[in-house]
Chains A and B, each alone.
Chain A
Amino acid sequence: MIPLHYFKIKLKSMSLLKNFTKTLLVVLILILTFQNKTFADGGFPVRPGRLLISPSVSYFFASSRWDSTGVKKPFPNGGKYSSIGATIYGEYGISRRFAAIVSLPFVYNDFTQNNTKSATSSGLADLETGIRYYLANIDFIYYFSLQGTAITPLYSNNASLGYGEEGGELKLAFSGSGHVGDLSSYFNASDGVRQYFGTNGPIQNRYNATYGLSLDEEYENQLSVTVSGINSWSNDKSFNSAIPGTNKDFSFLQASLSYGHSFSHEISLFLSGGEFLLGRNTGVGTTVSLAFVYRLDYR
């Protein structure tokens, strides 16, 4: 006769097996992070072997200015300033820690007074080449990077395209991702100090804060808002309405809204519009830009 306790033990054993084989298969949730689909130039590290190319066009328009005390005034003689820029931006992940950065802009500036063109200029502007270093992370959610950038003017004797001075920038960026309800979110915050090395070469503080939200689980559509600005200091306090971009002592704060759509893991498009909110010694600008992002993996 089989003792009763045998059945009790057997039942207990079977029950245990049933419980834990049912609950634990294998841990498998793979995370495709939102940062893969965000726009370039943030604090997130760049994947080794990944080449990101982003051609973009932008339009800047201003018909008024803030003076040196921050008082808003129209440009004299009904002046209107516009600038069309075409930029190729690229990132390449060299290794887990290092990425190479390049930005090549072409600009066309136009200033009219009394409906008459008074000044135009165009050409390649300041080339930016840099190295980004992935500093650290917090729980693989928040990422810090440090970027060193060299500024090289691609023109000479053309003050309308830039300062015509070499410069350098050191930028600290902080990015992270999270959730708002069922939606994924991310942010980028960066602050860079840029020094132009010429006479009266300004020293600038350039800052940017972006918050983005995916509109679907596949990260195909996203919206983001950005607040950015520059504070530039120089002994040269002059203001040139015709080419406000080359003023050296100025500041502005800009807000912009951006919509992004990903056609695939490789291709995204971003459409942005922005408005200058505050400023000193600069144009009251309105901006619109369109950027394509191509991501190509070489490993």
Chain B
Amino acid sequence: MIHVSKITLAAICCIFMLGGMSHAFAQEGAMTDTVITHSSDGIFSSTASYTFQVNSTFKNTEVGKVSYIVTTEAGKKMKSDSVKVKIGGHGSGSYDFDIAGLQPGFYKINFMVNVAGENDGYDDTLRKAFGIKPSQITSQYGKPADFESFWHNARLELDKVNPEYKVTEIPDTAKNDKRRVFKVEMKSIDGLLIRGFLTEPINHNKNKKFAVLLGLPGYQVTLGPMVGNDPDVAIFTLNIRGSGYSRDVINVRRETYIVLDLEDKNKYILRGAVMDCVRAVDFICSRPELRHDNIIAAGGSLGGFLAIATSGIDKRINFCSAANPIFSDVRNLIHEVDWPFIDIRKYVNTRPGLTMDKVMDNLDYFDAKNFASDIECPTLVGIGLVDNIAPPNNVYTLYNGIRAPKHIIIFRDLGHEIGKKYSIYEGRWMRDTFALF
């Protein structure tokens, strides 16, 4: 063990502090840079337009370049440009970039500044994304000819399973939030037990029936009871098989879940998960106090996928809300995202005889865009332009395939998330659709 006296320790600290101070003196001043996107949602009809601004508080003049590089979401370089810059001490520079000639689609753009001065310098990269005419984005890949019959057969298989609904009131929560809370258990396809929570506003009007929000979970997210002050809407949060409170039989590691039984589309985990959502709709429709014609399916990420899939299959859904839905246009997705293909490739490598081609053939039956064209209810979609899990190109492919009334809200600077604006719009549109004025 090394013993260091207090004096020695103080001396060492002083040396480090002085060293830091001398470094700070050499670097007196700073540079900041910002990018202004000349479109509130990052969407352009033809030419993308940006202004890159650099401010310096250095004493010395800085010389270097400001540049950009545009790539597809898959990383293919499309365009680049640079300008030489000379920024005086305590000065600033503003540089306009117009990027023209790109095909409809979404692109990543990185702005870089690299300057150097007498005793200092500055390098930085700002990452943005933009879209050109996204309404024209389509996929070159169609859906399997037997897509609808595949899911129809799954539905028939689900129908053979007695749901054995078990509803248990949880009394304590109700006192606190003006809602009754119920734990719900039911049997889904393959005879698996799944669980959810139903919360209903306490209302003494016997005529009152509640619209229902079916809340669907993100990847491996546990959904408990969800409450709130809304007096018109019951909320049913579902834990799909192998997720949250429904792990009795399937209880796997996070990275394993998405590849479970991937080699067989009739056993793949998402087939059961989607049928769990349909069973949840069965449950809602079994309750006399709930409105069976006012059901909204809503979720984000995997929940967004489940909302799209369930709404495509089950016409009892009256409103669909999908934020950052994953798994759209999977054959193009494979070139654009790391997850889940890192785990899928690993899985393929451990399964003799299984190939990526076979996996992709199976995943065609679970491609969100293939459900989208079957949706008949109003649908709201939310995306983040710098989402690297549900990239905008792929989500737009899904969105453009929806033939029902639809709306998309784009968050220019967000990744795999959506902003409050989405939730507010969702609430308003849902209320209008269900005439909850």
Contacts and interface: CB of A to CB of B under 8 A. Distances in A.
Interface of A: 9-10, 12-14, 16-17, 19-21, 23-33, 35-36, 44-50, 93, 96, 137, 139-141, 218, 265, 296-299
Nearest to B238: A26
Contacts of B301: 20-21, 24
User: Closest 6 interchain pairs by CB?
Assistant: A31-B427, A140-B428, A29-B423, A24-B300, A30-B230, A24-B301
18 contacts: A13-B342, A16-B338, A17-B255, A20-B301, A20-B416, A24-B221, A26-B223, A29-B420, A29-B423, A29-B427, A44-B437, A47-B435, A48-B435, A137-B432, A140-B425, A265-B231, A297-B205, A298-B207
Contact of B226 (A12, A28, A140, A218): A28
B79 interface: no
B208 interface: yes
B313 interface: no
B231 A33 contact: no
Interface stretch (B212-220, B357-365, B395-403): B212-220
B255 A96 contact: no
Given A28-B228, A299-B209, 15 more contacts: A13-B342, A17-B255, A20-B416, A23-B416, A24-B303, A26-B216, A28-B226, A30-B230, A32-B230, A45-B435, A46-B437, A49-B207, A93-B435, A297-B207, A297-B208
Contacts of A26: 215-218, 221, 223, 226, 237, 298-300, 303
A14 B342 CA distance: 10
A36 B116 CA distance: 61
A250 B209 CA distance: 49
Interface of B: 205, 207-209, 213, 215-221, 223, 226, 228-233, 235, 237, 254-255, 298-301, 303-304, 321, 323-324, 338-339, 342-343, 346, 382, 389, 416-418, 420, 422-429, 431-432, 435-437
A48 B431 CA distance: 12
Nearest to A33: B431
Contact of A35 (B208, B323, B437): B437
Contact of B299 (A23, A27, A36): A27
A25 B207 contact: no
Contacts of B254: 14, 17, 21
Given A20-B219, A45-B437, A27 B229 contact: no
A34 B213 CA distance: 20
Contact of B427 (A21, A30, A298): A30
B423 A28 contact: yes
A29 B424 contact: yes
B218 A28 contact: no
Given A13-B338, A17-B255, A21-B221, A31 B428 contact: yes
Nearest to B424: A31
Nearest to A296: B205
A36 to B, nearest CB: 8
A105 B427 CA distance: 38
A140 B429 contact: yes
Nearest to A137: B432
Nearest to A48: B435
B207 A17 contact: no
A30 B205 contact: no
Contacts of A13: 255, 338-339, 342-343
Contact of A21 (B218, B321, B423, B432): B218
A93 B339 CA distance: 50
Nearest to B427: A31
Contacts of A29: 420, 423-424, 426-427
B417 A24 contact: yes
Contact of A47 (B324, B346, B436): B436
